[in-house]
Amino acid sequence: MASQHEYAKPNSGLFSLANLKKDFPASIVVFLVALPLCLGIALASGAPLFAGVLTGIIGGLVVASVSGSQLSVSGPAAGLTVIVFGAITKLGTYETFLLAVMLGGVLQLVLGVVKAGTIASYFPSSVIEGMLAAIGIILILKQIPHAVGYDADFVGDESFNEPDNENTFSAISSSLSKISYGAVIISSLSLAILIYWPKVKKLASIPAPLIVVILGIVLSAVFKGSQFEINSDHLVKIPVVSSFGEFTNLFRFPDFSKITSPDVWTIAATLAIVASLE
């Protein structure tokens, strides 16, 4: 006879003191994992780092409050990184891209109202999985130079043909001749932890990404002053503000003067469709 497992239903309600004992430790883990993830996705997308942090906050507070799911964790999506980077590059300014994002959100709401979600049933799962796999391959190839500490051409890095006359494959070859051993050590150990940590039953309860974040911080500090020191160009520089005025200056708003641009509407539709399918 097959064994039967009983699964406890999550407690209902947005917040309760009864759940706090379990919710608070879980929230700390989610925060420590989500923060570098938000920063990394913003950096790879060519968006301001503040946008990554803000997106994580909105995903955690707003989406969690209005969503009917009790187990979802919302935030920036790595699957859209390549599309976002290409969109910002094509539109020219981040403010114009914000307009496309806003319009894409409106399109998603319209699709939801008319119950267009059923259209997804006509898309073969192999097409969706193939699209996401292709994006994943691009991300892997583009991150290899960064994994060995080569950041010569970060701007435009998501294009196949890069401004420095390199392409995706030749950039990998060039990076191997300019290795930063500190970056290689951190990258290698991080990958090993992500792969093998969950396979150890006694350790699996602690999220591997959390260990990777802690490891990166510790090793970066340990390597200072040695031959393995990580160059400051490889470190994420979060904006530091000293007044409320400087804080408000970090906010960027959509450029509505570009609302008639065909490129804006094309990218808005692309974001709406890909994000919905994902």
Q: Is 70 exceeded by the pLDDT of residue 12?
A: no
pLDDT at 153 over 70: no
Name the most confidently modeled range: 101-105, 120-124, 221-225. Answer: 101-105
Cα torsion angle, 70, 76, 78, 79, sign: positive
CB contact burial 42-65 (16+ within 10 A = b; e otherwise): bbbbbbbbbbbbbbbeebbeeeee
Q: Give pTM, 2 decimals.
A: 0.68
pLDDT range class, residue 192, cuts 50, 70, 90:
very high
Whether 18 has a pLDDT exceeding 60, the answer reads yes
Q: What is the pLDDT of residue 1?
A: 44
- For the record, the structure tokens of 162 come out as 């890069």
Q: Work out the pLDDT band at 149, boundaries 50, 70, 90.
A: confident
**Tokens at 222, concatenated:** 């340990």
Q: How confident is the model at residue 269 (pLDDT cuts 50, 70, 90)?
A: very high
- The reported pLDDT for the residue numbered 265 is 94
Question: What 3-state class would DSSP assign to 161?
Answer: strand
Tens-digit pLDDT profile for residues 214-264: 898 899 889 888 888 887 777 777 778 888 888 888 888 999 999 999 999
Query: Distance between CA 274 and CA 158 in Å, rounded?
Result: 18
Nearest partner of 86 among 47, 51, 53, 55, judged by Cα: 47
